[in-house]
Amino acid sequence: MLLIRWLGTAALGIVLSASARPFERLSSTDDLLPAAQAFSLLPVEYHDHHLHLSWNIAPGYYLYRQRIRVEVLAPSRVGLQAIRLPQGIAHVDEHFGSVQIYRELLDADVPTIGPLNAPLRLRVSYQGCADAGVCYPPQTVVQTIRR
Amino acid sequence: MNMRKSVPVAIVLSLAALAGGALLYRHLAANTTSEPVSAAAPAVNFITLDGRTLSLASLHGHWVLINFWASWCAPCIDELPNFVRAQDQYSGLGLKVIGPALDEADAVRPMLARFKINYPVTADFASGDLAMRAFGNDKGALPFTVLIDPDGFIVERNLGGLSSDELDGLLQRHLGKS
């Protein structure tokens, strides 16, 4: 009886697998990482009136400098100065012109304006692509920094 | 053999026969270009930039090539001229191209004129992303292209850009030469 159950399950599995999977072209995009793993934003830190942001960018992926944004959601009395980003890698794109990109590790710094004596809610957005020839939609991450 | 014993055996034999048939079909499909293994396309609707509702079901009987793209995606922009040409070249063979953009209308509109886009385009991130995932793109990356046959079955899915030759090869394989 056990054998019969096993055969039945195996046969059903084969039928479902054969009928449900469409034909797909194999390519180097097969092993793509999800965006959250390709561009991993570490918890934002706050020291001496500065926010410190760090990304781990997986090998074969890159972030666009001009698509990195940091905004304060709350409290409204806290403001941010312009984000300070390191010099990126020059990249000439046929459609976007001369841009800068980042690979591997990216550290950025944002000076804050006003006292920070309550939890700070931040929205960080960024966008990047893979060398395999695909791009990920803009990613938005909300983080709360508690002092 | 009594009835109580013969029913499960009959079920197993039927499943085994089905499995064998499916494997044979898969084997044949993988070794020919005429009828690859396919899955039914999800029922999706698109709202085009000019406000029309375009349901996939309404295109039954046509080959439908859906190219998910965005203005922020360089590889997507690279391949736009290929889809414009494909719509021109293969319309006689029943091809309908659709271009859902995971983007904002203001960013997409200038592209219509720049590339002389000759097929319906939509611009809505949320619905485009949902549709793309329903077609099996669990990475959420672009560009992503799906070819649906006149019976409403997905016959090709491609994540990443398609060169002019690659797109021609794909369409010729399924639609024949234009």
- What pLDDT does residue B24 have? 35
Which pLDDT band, with edges at 50, 70 and 90, does A7 fall under? Answer: very low
Nearest Cβ partner of A133 from B36, B75, B155? B75
d(CA B102, CA A139): 13
Give the sheet arrangement for strand B153-159, strand by strand: B39-40, B153-159, B144-148, B63-68, B95-101, B121-123
Q: What is the pLDDT of residue A29?
A: 61
Whether residues B73 and A94 touch (CB distance < 8 A) is answered with: no
Contacts of A12 in chain B (CB under 8 A): 15, 19
Q: Does A19 touch chain B (CB under 8 A)?
A: yes
Phi and psi at B51, nearest 5°, equal: 85, 5
pLDDT (0 to 100) of residue B64: 97
The CA distances from residue B156 to A23, A49, A117, B171, in Å, are: 6, 53, 55, 10
What is the per-residue pLDDT across B54-76, written as a single tens digit (0 to 9) for each?
A: 999 999 999 999 999 999 999 99
Which residues, in sequence order, are CB contacts of A44 under 8 Å at separation 6+?
A51, A52, A53, A122, A124, A143, A145
Domains and CATH numbers, chain A: 33-145 (2.60.40.1250)
Give tens-digit pLDDT for B150-165. Answer: 999 999 999 999 999 9
Q: Please indicate whether, in this complex, the C-beta atoms of A35 and B141 are within 8 angstroms of each other.
A: yes
- Residue closest to A1 by CA, chosen among B7, B53, B154: B7
Contact partners, residue A78, CB within 8 Å, separation at least 6: A72, A112, A113, A114, A115, A116, A120
Predicted ipTM?
0.76
Cα separation, A15 vs B25, in Å, equals: 11
- Report, as an integer, the average pLDDT of A95-118: 93
Question: What pLDDT band is residue A12 in, cutting at 50, 70 and 90?
Answer: very low
- Give the residue numbers in B contacting A (CB under 8 Å), as ranges: 8-9, 11-12, 15-16, 18-19, 22-23, 25-26, 29-30, 36-39, 70, 72-78, 102, 125, 129, 136, 139-143, 154-161
* Closest by CA position to A137, among listed B68, B87, B38: B68
d(CA B141, CA A35): 8
Amino acid at A138: P
| Confidence band for B37, pLDDT divided at 50, 70 and 90 | very low
Strand pairing of A128-130 and A134-135?
Answer: antiparallel
